[in-house]
Amino acid sequence: MDFGIKENIVAIVTTDKNMISTTTVPVFYANSEEQKEKTALLVSKITMGMVHDLENGSYVIVKH
């Protein structure tokens, strides 16, 4: 079995249009900081995940 951090990542929310996912993790693109925060909050509520700020213009939603 292959276990890793990718199994816990639910989604990425970013304002960086150049960011792509090389796995099956969905990337949500936001046009503004406000939209990025709102999208991350809503995705985390829907998936019962936690939002973490990567401090590079992106949020990652994970399940702990």
Comparing CA positions, the residue from 21, 56, 27, 61 lying closest to residue 41 is 61
State what percent of residues in the chain have pLDDT above 70: 89
Report pLDDT for 20: 86
Comparing CA positions, the residue from 42, 38, 8 lying closest to residue 25 is 8
Across all residues in the chain, what is the average pLDDT? 90
Give the integer Cα–Cα distance in Å for 15 and 40.
Answer: 12
Please determine, for residue 36, whether its predicted confidence score (pLDDT) is greater than 70. yes
CA distances from 57 to 2, 3, 32 (A): 30, 27, 10
Whether residue 59 contacts residue 13, with contact meaning beta carbons closer than 8 Å, is answered with yes
Find the mean pLDDT for residues 23-36: 94
Find the mean pLDDT for residues 18-47: 94
Neighbours of 38 (CB within 10 A): 13
